């Protein structure tokens, strides 16, 4: 299998696992992405459009639906009185923590056939690919926090 096929097929595997975890937590995959982005900190709508690769109207609908479920809230942006930021509610933060933990566990099972050294090599190589290409910050490890999300 060539590199392109391996990367595309692995992305499909990850997406399928992520979608299944989302469904089991009562979320769409897009809501799961939004919640995981907001784990680091609240973000403005423009920032979220860029991070999630969505048009403004699509993001507005996503935030509306997620807000109606009590998982996020809009709050004033302290730097711009005309703008709002989107933040997790306490209910949203609890669900996000459970969803994130479950999704990570499932995704980390995908390379279960690799020995620990190969898993470390795979992790390092994939991290380089993501960082070299300014990959979107949609799944930040909580212990890395907002600094990682911005850096």
CA-based nearest residue to 72, from 98, 33, 51, 42: 42
Per-residue pLDDT for 148 more than 50?
no
Per-residue pLDDT for 144 more than 60?
no
Q: Does domain 3-150 have CATH number 1.10.10.10?
A: yes
CA-based nearest residue to 138, from 59, 63, 30: 30
Q: Where are the domains of the chain?
A: 3-150
Reported as a pLDDT band with limits 50, 70 and 90, residue 33 is very high
Residue 150: the pLDDT is: 35
Q: pTM for the full model? A: 0.82
Residue 134: the pLDDT is: 84
Residue 55: the pLDDT is: 93
């Amino acid at each position: 299998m060539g590199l392109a096929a391996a990367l595309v097929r692995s992305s499909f595997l990850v997406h399928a696992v992520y979608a299944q975890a989302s469904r089991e937590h009562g979320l769409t995959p897009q809501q799961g992405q939004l919640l995981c982005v907001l784990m680091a900190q609240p973000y403005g709508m423009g920032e979220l459009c860029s991070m999630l690769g969505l048009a403004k109207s699509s993001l507005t609908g996503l935030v509306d639906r997620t807000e109606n479920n009590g998982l996020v809230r809009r709050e004033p942006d302290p730097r711009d009185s005309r703008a709002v930021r989107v933040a997790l509610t306490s209910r949203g933060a609890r669900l996000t923590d459970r969803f994130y933990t479950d999704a990570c566990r499932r995704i980390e099972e995908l390379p279960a056939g690799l020995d620990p050294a190969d898993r470390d090599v795979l992790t390092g190589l994939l991290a380089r690919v993501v960082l070299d290409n300014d990959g979107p910050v949609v799944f930040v490890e909580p212990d890395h926090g907002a600094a990682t999300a911005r850096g």
